[in-house]
Amino acid sequence: MDGSPDLLLLDIMLPGINGYDICRKVKEQKPELPIIMITARGKEVDKVAGLDLGADDYVSKPFSIPELLARIRAVLRRYREGTVILDQYTFGNITLNFKKFQAFVDNQEIHLSAREYAIMRVFIGHAGEVIHRHTLLDEVWGYETYPTTRTVDNYILDLRKKLEEDPSRPKHILSVRSAGYKFVP
């Protein structure tokens, strides 16, 4: 045991600094550390903000201890089973640095969200395999009440715009009709 945490439970409303800022800073330094946000702020906009910053789950108060423990187990299971822990990955003219949250296309830095890095981690961990939309929702969003599968499609569209030379004819992030997507490095 190295003394590093396995998971961070993070409240949004903290004295002096908000949980969103902490989440952002932690994900910049340790993107592989799973984060569950716990908060009284239960509005959809608050949940989306936390998840877009890299939180793996979002639990609104009041909640039961058994539910929280189940969510902790689910997040840890996903990280132990399916998450590829990489510092850096290069394919084609693209380099992704997961440790520094930096992405380069043709040596030009571009911005990816924490959620887009998480999607790319799943793709890299399952390169060449068909990944169903629901699998991406489970592994990347990680909560039981899924947004629609269109959410995944919209993120994929944005990733293609950022990473593919011709987003209308992708070479790396391919659609598999009626199934999901396939990543081809």
**Rounded mean pLDDT, 44-66:** 82
> Residue 21's pLDDT is what?
87
Fold of 88-183: Arc Repressor Mutant, subunit A (1.10.10)
> Which residues lie below 8 Å from residue 47, measured CB to CB, with a gap of 6+?
58, 60
pLDDT tier at 1, thresholds 50, 70, 90: very low
Q: At what angle do helices 149-163 and 114-125 cross, to 10 degrees?
A: 90
Q: What is the b/e burial string over 2-26, where b = at least 16 CB atoms within 10 angstroms of the residue's CB?
A: eeeeeebebebeeeeeebbebbeeb
Residue type (1 letter), 35: I
pTM for the full model?
A: 0.58
Q: Domain coordinates of the chain in residue numbers?
A: 8-81, 88-183
Q: What average pLDDT does the segment 86-105 reach?
A: 87
On the CB side of 106, CA atoms within 13 Å amount to 4
Quick one: tokens of 109?
A: 């830095």
CATH superfamily of 8-81: Response regulator (3.40.50.2300)
